[in-house]
Amino acid sequence: MSVYELDVSWVTTATERRRLHWELLACEQVRGVFLTAREDVLAVLFGGDRPRFNAWARTLEPHHQTTTTTNEQGALQ
């Protein structure tokens, strides 16, 4: 087990906070979550190695959705 810092600076809405809360609870590798002196960082007691933590942490951040545009006839561009 190791403690890793989780950047949560992307969490700005109540919906994102709720989703993060449930994601932390659902992860079997997370053994504990602690506040830090920084508002945008949590300390996470994680039961895996650094690469596994980094991969998991990337899944938490919301994906930037690409917008599609249509032409005048309604076809995707």
Q: Mind listing the pLDDT tens digit for each residue in 2-48?
A: 999 999 998 988 888 888 999 998 999 999 999 999 999 999 999 99
Q: Span 40-57, mean pLDDT? A: 93
44 within 8 A of 25, measured Cβ to Cβ: no
Mind giving me the DSSP string for 43-55?
EEEESS-HHHHHH
Question: For residue 18, what is the DSSP state?
Answer: H
Tell me if residue 73 falls in helix, strand or coil. coil
Q: At 77, is the pLDDT very low, low, confident or very high (cuts 50, 70, 90)?
A: very low
Non-local CB neighbours of 61 within 8 Å, separated by 6+ positions: 10
- What is the pTM assigned to this prediction? 0.73
Sign of the Cα torsion 29, 34, 36, 41 reads positive
